[in-house]
Amino acid sequence: MKNSRFDATVLTLGFAFLYIPIIILVIYSFNASRLVTVWGGFSLTWYQQMWSNQGLMDAAWVTARVAVISATIATVLGTLAALTLVRFRKIPGRLLFSGMIYAPLVMPEVITGLSLLLLFVSLNVDRGFWTVIIAHTTFSMCYVAIVVQSRLLTFDRSLEEAALDLGCPPVKTFFRITLPLILPAVLAGWMLAFTLSLDDLVIASFNTGPGATTLPIKIYSQVRLGVTPEINAICTILIGLVAIGVIAASLATKRSELRRQRDEHAAAQG
Amino acid sequence: MAIDTLSPKPEPVIADPGRANPARWLVVAIPYLWLLLFFAAPFFIIAKISLSDTAIAMPPYTPVFEGFGKFGEFFSQLDFENYEFLASDSLYIKSYLNSLRIAAISTVLLLLIGYPMALAMARAKTSIRPILVMLVILPFWTSFLIRVYAWIGILKPEGLLTLLFQSIGLMGPDEQVQILRTDYAVFIGIVYSYLPFMVLPLYAALEKLDNTLLEAASDLGCPPWKAFWRITFPLSLPGVIAGSLICFIPITGEFVIPDLLGGADTLMIGKTLWTEFFNNRDWPLASAIAVILLAVLVIPIAYFQNQQQKAG
């Protein structure tokens, strides 16, 4: 088959393009030499230096807290927004609402960041930790809403209807039936919101204040001064954490999928 | 992901049992009010501040609107000075045009690279498709900043690309690649960072393609390239449009990539806005730049929303 050889070449080249820069970055974090082009042997010097860099460590701690808090709020708000989009189709101003969900996905970050900053200034809110959290929550809740919405659209509502017919109150039905069924999408939404917050430089730069320097802001200011292997080290740790998180999440979904299939099979067997 | 919503799945209209429930209103009101306050309201404020004057103060602008009592004063203080300034200085017009040019070229490059990848993924065996999708998504989970940073080490004159070219004899020992701090580096960075956003919607469209159509064409003697242009490509058009919009709109306002990989002469409007805001502390001018950028992008954004709404 000519097609399959073409396809294999395209995919190999495409994935090489996507992964080689990241692999090089990781390899050079273990380089004893300060120069990128010289391999000075394996060393953990840069990890030690990174560890003793108080500014970098403080920024990492701020980023971790911002990411956990904003991802959690964004997951709650995004799930509610997805329910609104899918279940309550006749609310007044629905077009405006769905517009406010879709627009942040493509809105250039400089516009979102600047406009939100100007809101905080005109409301006389001091910029800092919480303004970054509000900013991150606002754009990442839209991503959560999209992820949960696509799950709700393929959702079989007969279980919910059965519960409601049997007299289960709607709120209880949501927590007992709907939420467990959409949970994988909700968790995927949380993961996405978490990494988006971890990653954001532009919006955080506009909305941050004294004492709330996040890791991307710190990395950016160091990168502007020049490439140092210390940054490679912290980047490698971030990549490692994300890789572990993604692999763990995909294993968990696979396990729950298998269990569900087994349960369905057992149910079918009676 | 926005991409998932591209498949239209009509929801059967069922009478909602929770209609009379107060919880229903909370479900709607909480995210609605949050977005109105933190996403919609700021646009009115940015429009307002773009009409005010710069002042050396904190915040560095003269407020034009202080309460409803001074309504007359409010209108007398409004002026289009910042916009006149933007129109008079060719730097800003060049920035806008260059941003649109870079975004357009990048989107075409992304299509040229992303389409064969998405097609290859859609034609792969069903069993390995989830792994391929995972491999496309995975770089997206690693930080944008890190991925741009990785390219600095490769592209800089004393970097790895020079080393590679020297070792395979393409370059003499005294020569160095001159890519970093040029538009080429910006294109490489953009294509690299946005490739997953292009591949996924294309794949979503191509995966749904009915193979029997291609078989029928081939049985009737249609050559494969003609079948591609007559069947595959037209049917994947929704994916092409979605992917292009998801890439084109944010690239136009991109800041990180032109700042870290581009040169001093790489004018992009996101970078210009950043400079006006952080270096020159001219908030009203930065706001005016943002308002015009939004006006430039409002048609593609509205088109994108329309597409998503049809799908959702």
Structure token digits, residue B214: 């291609």
With beta carbons less than 8 A apart as the criterion, state whether B205 and B127 touch.
Answer: no
pLDDT of residue B288: 93
CA B220 to chain centre: 42
Q: Which residues from A are below 8 Å from B162, CB to CB? A: 37
A-interface mutation test, from B106, B129, B135, B141, most A Cβ less than 10 A away: B141
Classify residue A35 by its DSSP letter.
Answer: S
Contact check, Cβ <8 Å, B45/A119 = yes
Buried b (16+ CB within 10 A) or exposed e, B86-107: beeeeebeebbebbbebbebbb
pLDDT at A2 exceeding the cut of 70: no
Average pLDDT over residues A227-237: 84
With beta carbons less than 8 A apart as the criterion, state whether B240 and B202 touch.
Answer: yes
User: 10 Å Cβ neighbour count for A32?
Assistant: 14
Average pLDDT over residues B103-108: 97
pLDDT at B6 exceeding the cut of 50: no
Average pLDDT over residues B134-155: 85
Contact check, Cβ <8 Å, B195/A10 = no
A-interface mutation test, from B1, B19, B37, B39, most A Cβ less than 10 A away: B39
Rg value, chain B, Cα? 25
Classify residue A126 by its DSSP letter.
Answer: P
**Which of the pair, B170 or A129, is modelled with greater confidence?**
A129
Distance CA B12, CA A199 (A): 38
pLDDT at B19 exceeding the cut of 60: no
The string of pLDDT tens digits covering residues A31-61 is 888 776 678 888 888 898 888 888 889 999 9
Nearest C-alpha in B relative to A221: B260
pLDDT of residue B2: 45
Asked if the C-beta of A235 comes within 8 angstroms of chain B's C-beta atoms, the answer is yes
With beta carbons less than 8 A apart as the criterion, state whether B2 and A102 touch.
Answer: yes
The minimum CA-CA distance between B128 and chain A, rounded to whole Å, is: 12
Structural domains of chain B sorted by starting position, each given as residue range(s) with its CATH number in brackets: 91-145+196-311 (1.10.3720.10)
Q: At what angle do helices B90-123 and A2-28 cross, to 10 degrees?
A: 120
Average pLDDT over residues A257-266: 79
> What is the count of residue pairs from A and B with beta carbons less than 8 Å apart?
267
**Local confidence band at B137 (pLDDT 50, 70, 90 cut-offs):** confident
pLDDT of residue B4: 47
Phi, psi values for residue A205, rounded to 5°: -60, -40
pLDDT at A114 exceeding the cut of 70: yes
Residue with tokens 């701020």: A62
Contact check, Cβ <8 Å, A37/B152 = no
User: 10 Å Cβ neighbour count for B291?
Assistant: 21
| Amino acid in position B112 | L
**Local confidence band at B276 (pLDDT 50, 70, 90 cut-offs):** very high
Distance CA A147, CA A78 (A): 9
Q: DSSP letter string over chain B?
A: -GGGGGS--PPP----TTTT-HHHHHHHHHHHHHHIIIIIHHHHHHHHHTTS-B-SSSSSB--S--SSTTHHHHHHH---HHHHHHHH-HHHHHHHHHHHHHHHHHHHHHHHHHHHHHHHHHHS-TTTHHHHHHHHHHHHHS-HHHHHHHHHHHHSTTSHHHHHHHHTTSS-TT-----TTSHHHHHHHHHHHHHHHHHHHHHHHHHT--HHHHHHHHHTT--HHHHIIIIIHHHHHHHHHHHHHHHHHHHHT--HHHHHHS-TT---HHHHHHIIIIIS--HHHHHHHHHHHHHHHHHHHHHHHHHHHHH-
B-interface mutation test, from A7, A83, A114, A177, most B Cβ less than 10 A away: A114
Structure token digits, residue A173: 């039905």
Helix (H, G, I), strand (E, B) or coil at A7: helix
Q: Which residues from B are below 8 Å from A6, CB to CB? A: 116, 120
Q: Which residues from B are below 8 Å from A116, CB to CB? A: 38, 42
Structure token digits, residue A116: 């939100």
- Least Cα distance to B123 among B207, B182, B44 occurs for B207
Whether omega before B59 lies within 30 degrees of 0, making that bond cis, reads: yes
Average pLDDT over residues A62-78: 96
Contact check, Cβ <8 Å, B17/A157 = no
Total residue count of chain A as it appears in this document: 270
Residue with tokens 């989830």: B130
pLDDT of residue B15: 44
Contact check, Cβ <8 Å, B139/A84 = no
Helix (H, G, I), strand (E, B) or coil at A209: coil
Average pLDDT over residues B267-293: 92
Indicate the fold that domain A54-269 takes in CATH: MetI-like fold (1.10.3720)
pLDDT at A241 exceeding the cut of 50: yes
Strand-pairing partners, residue B54, are: B61
Classify residue A176 by its DSSP letter.
Answer: I
Buried b (16+ CB within 10 A) or exposed e, B185-215: bbbbbbbbbbbbbbbbbbbbbbbebeeeebe
B-interface mutation test, from A17, A111, A121, A235, most B Cβ less than 10 A away: A111
Question: Which of A194-208, B167-181, B295-309 is most confident?
Answer: A194-208
Contact check, Cβ <8 Å, B31/A84 = yes
Contact check, Cβ <8 Å, B9/A153 = yes
**Local confidence band at A206 (pLDDT 50, 70, 90 cut-offs):** very high
The minimum CA-CA distance between B17 and chain A, rounded to whole Å, is: 8
pLDDT of residue A216: 92
Rg value, chain A, Cα? 23
Contact check, Cβ <8 Å, A145/B31 = yes
Contact check, Cβ <8 Å, A88/B16 = yes
Helix (H, G, I), strand (E, B) or coil at A34: coil
Distance CA A173, CA A177 (A): 5
**Which of the pair, A15 or A265, is modelled with greater confidence?**
A15
Dihedral angle sign, alpha carbons of residues B29, B33, B34, B40? positive
**Local confidence band at B175 (pLDDT 50, 70, 90 cut-offs):** confident
Q: Which of A14, A118, A238 has the CB atom closest to B143's CB atom?
A: A238
Structure pTM? 0.87
Q: At what angle do helices A45-52 and A229-269 cross, to 10 degrees?
A: 90
**Local confidence band at B76 (pLDDT 50, 70, 90 cut-offs):** low
Q: Which residues from A are below 8 Å from B254, CB to CB? A: 108
Contact check, Cβ <8 Å, A141/B31 = yes
With beta carbons less than 8 A apart as the criterion, state whether B105 and A180 touch.
Answer: no
ipTM: 0.89
Measure CA of the first residue to CA of the last residue in chain B; give whole Å: 12
Asked if the C-beta of A246 comes within 8 angstroms of chain B's C-beta atoms, the answer is yes
